[in-house]
Amino acid sequence: MNVHVAPSTGHDLVLTRVFDAPRDKVFRAWTEPKLIKQWFAPLPWTVSGAQTDPRPGGTALVVMRDPEGNDHPSQGVYLEVVENERLVFTDAYTSAWEPSPKPFMTVILTFEEEPGGKTKYIARARHWNAEDRATHEEMGFHEGWGQCADQLAELLKKI
């Protein structure tokens, strides 16, 4: 795993990686459902469904399936979309700006151009409070998101 894990502070968990792929491919892998389904869940989990509308106010739905066949949907709204540069989304709202019953985090993704056609990817999970951050860290944020980054790196070689 070629991932840099920043120390946890305050409400944020941060993971950084340099992919051997241009920013447009990394951005596509985060916004196109057919690509999301190929890398987004840490194996042996899978993605059984994905829907995206990558624009401010657009909704996103990713359904992860555990090894026992149980589906775990995660729904949210995009807050900011700058093609090939930045994605910001939150689970604080569901479709049509309906508040979610238990907001957990806002995700801030940046895609920075690196020499040689590479992309520096920074994933920041910003939680509503330090307790939620600690819970996410204990759930295996770094391991799970790191494994997904490895799976994404493999997918980027093919697209």
Residue range 102-142, pLDDT digits in tens: 999 999 999 999 999 999 999 999 999 999 999 999 999 99
What phi and psi, each to the nearest 5 degrees, are found at residue 97? 60, 30
The predicted pLDDT at position 85 comes to 98
CATH code (residue 33): 3.30.530.20
Tokens for 138?
């204990």
Can you give the pTM of this predicted structure? Answer: 0.91
Helix (H, G, I), strand (E, B) or coil at 157: coil
Q: Which domain holds residue 123?
A: 3-156
Name the domain count of the chain: 1
Give the chain's residues under pLDDT 70: 1-9
